[in-house]
Chain A
Amino acid sequence: MTDDTPFEIVEISSLYGKTIQCAKRGNVLISVTKITMFGLGRIQFPEQAELSQLRQERHGNQRKFSKDHEKLKCLERLERLEYNWRRSQGNLKAVRDVGLRDSEELVRQLFGHLLIVGQSVSATSHQFSEIDAPLGRLHIQSYWQVLNDGRKYLTTVIFMSEMSAESKS
């Protein structure tokens, strides 16, 4: 399910002063970064080195590490922060698993597809859809918020391939 009908890129402003660039068709809005950053694994996890260091310390001497409550708390906090990065990386992996390339063309294709999906959204909810890919199908779970003014805003996309669904840990 794709649509080559052109869509416009608009800017909406948030209460916090940030301008958000969105793909728009009718009353459906898709934030560009929700696709390009979160959907394609480009978000950063700056605490990665610190987390690796703590994991290494724990692995080296678990008994000693378990007595250091400050380090334990820090490790737990960083492991929770890592979940968002892993979700985003999972999206990128799913895209690659089905033979798609992280490219402008793919972003355009995803906008076209999701702008159609958004048209059928009538309440804050999530939708399942899929697009054809060279090595199978990319399964897409899209989360939508119906804003107070009735516009439908894509909040999150989760991409899945059969392979990525099996490899979660």
Chain B
Amino acid sequence: MNVEDIIILDDYDIDYAALPDDTLGQLALCNELYIATSALSELSERNPTLVIPIAWQIIATEHGDYYLQKLAMELLFELMASAVTKFVHKNRSGLQNDKLVQYANIIQSANAISRKEHPITL
């Protein structure tokens, strides 16, 4: 599917659910920022692991505007926070005073505010 044929359209004319993952990935990095935002959002629901390199590229290259970069940052943080939390839970006995524990505590503090996750007990 040719990305160029899609980005000349308007965001509300596109059925993102019908697009394959690789097309969504290309659109998330395109120069049409409404389409990029929608494509990244759709991909995050469908296949979060594919989002990591794309979101990182958006942030590292400062691609797009405030809203696209904010979305990329949120998605990266959510995915990383979830991975750190799982790892610390699984390995808590061997991780006393480890950096990862500090990270987990920061995440725990953030979660205590939003009440989105279960607290970590070490």
- Name A's B-contacting residues (CB within 8 A): 12, 14-16, 18, 20, 31, 33-34, 37-38, 43-44, 62-63, 65-66, 72, 77, 80-81, 83-84, 86-88, 124-126, 141, 143-145, 147-148, 153, 155-156, 158, 168
A72-B116, A87-B37 given; name 14 further pairs at CB < 8 Å.
A12-B8, A16-B13, A38-B11, A43-B12, A44-B12, A65-B115, A66-B114, A80-B71, A83-B67, A86-B67, A145-B4, A145-B30, A155-B30, A155-B33
Contacts of A124 in B (CB 8 A): 31
A93 to B87, CA, bound (A): 45
Residue of B at shortest CB range from A158?
B65
Residue of A at shortest CB range from B111?
A66
- Grouping DSSP codes into helix (H, G, I), strand (E, B) and loop, the A interface class, with mixed when no group exceeds half, is mixed
A156 to B64, CA, bound (A): 10
Residue of B at shortest CB range from A80?
B41
- Whole-angstrom distance between the Cβ of A129 and the nearest chain B Cβ: 16
Whether A15 contacts B45 in the complex (CB less than 8 A), given A83-B67, A84-B37, A126-B31, comes out as no
B34 within 8 A of A: yes
A67 to B37, CA, bound (A): 28
Q: Are A155 and B32 in contact (CB under 8 A)?
A: yes
Q: Are B67 and A15 in contact (CB under 8 A)?
A: no
Residue of A at shortest CB range from B67?
A83
Contacts of A44 in B (CB 8 A): 12
